Structure 1
Amino acid sequence: MRIGEVAAEAGVSTRVLRYYEEQQLLTSTRTPAGHREYGSAAVERVQLIQLLYEAGLSSRSIRALLPSVEAGEATPEVLQLLAAERRRMEQRIAGLLTARDRLEDVIEAAVDPHHDCVQRARTR
């Protein structure tokens, strides 16, 4: 399959496919004219890569996980890496929740100059 065909079937741009190749997540061969050609499993691999990105994984983590995930073999190392990614994500979520709460205080203070957070800020 040519790059445009894979991109269309996988629902991504050709630029994304080139990026995946740069990141060593996807491979292609070249025709004598220099065009990229992908194997029959390329569309499924691209869709799996997309899913892993949507799960918040970095290209480095995806590169490490991809062979095991495709084979359906969850090695202890793979499970350890996924657990570490989940912990990292939980920390980010906690930080975002704290930021949201602070923003809520700011919104309330914007409409009420006597709001508790304004009073705390004045006493600092």
Structure 2
Amino acid sequence: MTRKGLGPLVLIDGNLSASTYFLIIERELLPYVLNGPFKDGCFVYQHDRSPIHTDLSVKSLLEGLAVRTLEWPPVGADLNPIENVWGLVKRRLAARNLGSSTKETLFAAIQEEWEALRSRPEIVAGFTI
């Protein structure tokens, strides 16, 4: 998520691990950022203090690629704008009255809402500082 809009949505099968997070950064986040809103490479990446995010492999990847990072404050849950996006997605899904659905149909609905928000970057811009 950037002030310029949302990036790709990635389905994580099971629990998120440091190795999965590493692959998401390497295969999804960086190509999106560098081929999209920040072609010049001028951006600052911020993630919270989760052990998955602070894993040595993740730190090494970001440092090795000269990605500038912003330290997350010790108590910063209120500073996480993606929570506002997920809240909006949840409200939009609730309005659909999906009822009971499979993992696949639920993810498809989430993807549709995510893409709808991606097409309206001005909505997401209001959630960032």
What range is the shorter-chain TM-score in? under 0.3
TM-score w.r.t. length of structure 1: 0.28
Q: More relative contact order in 1 or in 2 (CA 8 Å, sep 6+)?
A: 2
TM-score w.r.t. length of structure 2: 0.27
User: Which structure has the highest helix share of the two?
Assistant: 1
Structure of higher CA gyration radius: 1
